[in-house]
């Protein structure tokens, strides 16, 4: 008898985690992202294994991978592709004398959008439209992205030189926003050892490893896991708790006036859908057939982090969205078990 879908996904988790030492949060978020059919925004200083994490996930899943380096001069056609006219004399494609769409890097299964906030808004929009609509329109024709499709966008901390802020409405299109911080001392030492080992392995066998030797998770396994996640039950009390958390962000004055002064704009309906979906995926990963309050609380920061817009008072007092979420979790009544 073969391995269950759950065991296969746990194997994938283990393989990616071995490559990324000390960043368990990003590994789990990427897994929740691909199983929830959503896109992930990752923020953190350069050099904190963000690129390594998505590359590792892509290496361990059957499918194609592309990295798009966002720069101030990137054009939307560099992301989505362009119409190209083929002249008769140098044509080998059978498209002589006509325009043909040449697909851009967005047409891959897993796409790393590196330093997305270094690009001007127009180029950001091209990426976000593909993420949201799951298609790209060029010269009036729609082109679909693959069925298995996930974008992980990395973002430099806001305020760094040469960054364009991403509009809040656009940020909402990301399922989760994870913040990567420095690893602890033990993990730092393990990273040094891991990279040292990799370097010496590379020196030993200069010949590349044959593809067949690698274990890869098939796309069907991801789709099968999603079908199982769809069946995860959300008890009525937990559903009410999700709604209460969302409404606390929209009507904070019902709780305290201090909270109202911290929140300028609350979570949109996309926020409640994301909270429900991520909590169900989290429960499935933990091997449960129903969602608990713990699942909701485990994913709420990543779901709310880019959806709550802070009020002036919060900005003035350096109160982060994570601080506000902590207050919300204390104020909203937890359903009895």
More confident residue, 48 or 279: 279
Return the CATH number at 310. 1.10.8.80
pLDDT, tens only, 29-58:
999 999 999 999 988 766 656 777 888 888
* 24 vs 273: CA distance, rounded Å: 24
Co-location of 154 and 242 in the same domain: no
**Across all residues in the chain, what is the average pLDDT?**
84
* In a shared domain, residues 124 and 272: no
Residue 207 lies in a domain: no
The reply to whether 239 and 309 lie within a common domain is: yes
Same domain, 164 and 64: yes
Asked whether residue 212 is assigned to any structural domain, the reply reads: no
159 in any annotated domain: yes
Q: Do 326 and 240 share a structural domain?
A: yes
State whether 257 and 164 are in the same domain. no
**CA 133-135-141 angle, 5° bins:** 125
For residue 201, how far is the Cα from the chain centroid? 31
Residue 103: which H helix or E strand, with range?
strand 98-103
Residue 205: is its pLDDT beyond 70? no
| Distances, alpha carbon 154 to alpha carbons 48, 51, 124, 180, in Å | 11, 8, 12, 10
The verdict on residue 203 lying in a domain is: no
Residue 284 located in a structural domain:
yes
- 199 inside domain: no
Q: Quote the pTM value.
A: 0.84
Check: CB of residue 311 under 8 Å from CB of residue 263. Answer: yes
The domain tally of the chain equals: 2
Eight-class DSSP state of 115: T
Residue by residue, DSSP assigns 156-184 as: PPTTSTT-PPPPHHHHTTSSEEEE-----
Distance between CA atoms of residues 327 and 313, nearest Å: 15
Same domain, 39 and 185: yes
pLDDT of 5 above 50: yes
Domain that holds residue 254: 231-331
Q: What is the pLDDT of residues 110-151, one digit of tens each?
A: 999 988 888 888 888 888 888 888 988 877 888 899 999 999
pLDDT, position 209 = 47
> What gap in Å lies between CA 14 and CA 295, rounded to an integer?
20
Look up the CATH number of the domain holding residue 55.
Answer: 3.40.50.300
My answer on whether 175 and 28 are in the same domain is yes
CA 42 – CA 33 distance, rounded (Å): 12
Residue 272 and residue 234 in contact, taking contact as beta carbons nearer than 8 Å: no
- Contact between 55 and 30 under an 8 Å Cβ cutoff? The reply is no
């Amino acid at each position: 008898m073969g391995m269950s879908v759950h065991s296969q996904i746990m194997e994938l988790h283990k393989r990616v985690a071995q490559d990324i030492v000390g960043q368990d949060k990003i590994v789990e978020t990427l897994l929740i992202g691909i199983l929830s059919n959503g896109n992930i925004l990752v923020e953190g200083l350069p050099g904190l294994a963000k690129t390594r994490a998505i590359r590792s996930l892509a290496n361990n899943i059957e499918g194609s991978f592309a990295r798009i380096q966002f720069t101030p001069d990137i054009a939307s056609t560099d992301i989505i592709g362009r119409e190209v006219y083929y002249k008769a004399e140098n044509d080998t494609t059978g498209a002589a004398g006509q325009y043909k769409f040449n697909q851009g890097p967005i047409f891959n299964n897993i796409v790393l959008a590196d330093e997305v906030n270094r690009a001007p808004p127009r180029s950001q929009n091209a990426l976000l439209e593909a993420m949201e609509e799951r298609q790209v329109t060029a010269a009036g024709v729609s082109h679909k992205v693959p069925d298995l499709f996930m974008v992980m966008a990395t973002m430099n901390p806001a305020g760094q030189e040469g960054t364009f802020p991403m509009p809040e409405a656009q940020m909402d299109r990301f399922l989760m926003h994870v913040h990567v911080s420095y690893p602890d001392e033990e993990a730092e030492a393990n990273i040094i050892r891991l990279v040292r080992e990799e370097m010496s392995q590379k020196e030993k066998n200069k010949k590349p490893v044959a593809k067949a030797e690698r274990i890869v998770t098939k796309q069907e396994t991801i789709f099968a896991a999603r079908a199982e996640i769809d069946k995860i039950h959300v008890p009525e009390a937990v559903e009410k708790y999700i709604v209460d958390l969302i409404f606390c962000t929209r009507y904070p004055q019902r709780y305290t006036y201090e909270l109202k002064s911290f929140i300028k704009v609350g979570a949109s309906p996309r926020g409640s859908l994301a909270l429900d979906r991520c909590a169900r995926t989290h429960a499935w990963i933990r091997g449960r057939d129903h969602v608990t309050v713990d699942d909701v609380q485990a994913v709420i920061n990543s779901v709310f982090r880019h959806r709550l817009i802070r009020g002036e008072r919060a900005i003035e007092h350096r109160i982060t969205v994570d601080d506000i979420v902590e207050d919300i979790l204390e104020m909203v009544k937890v359903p009895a078990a």
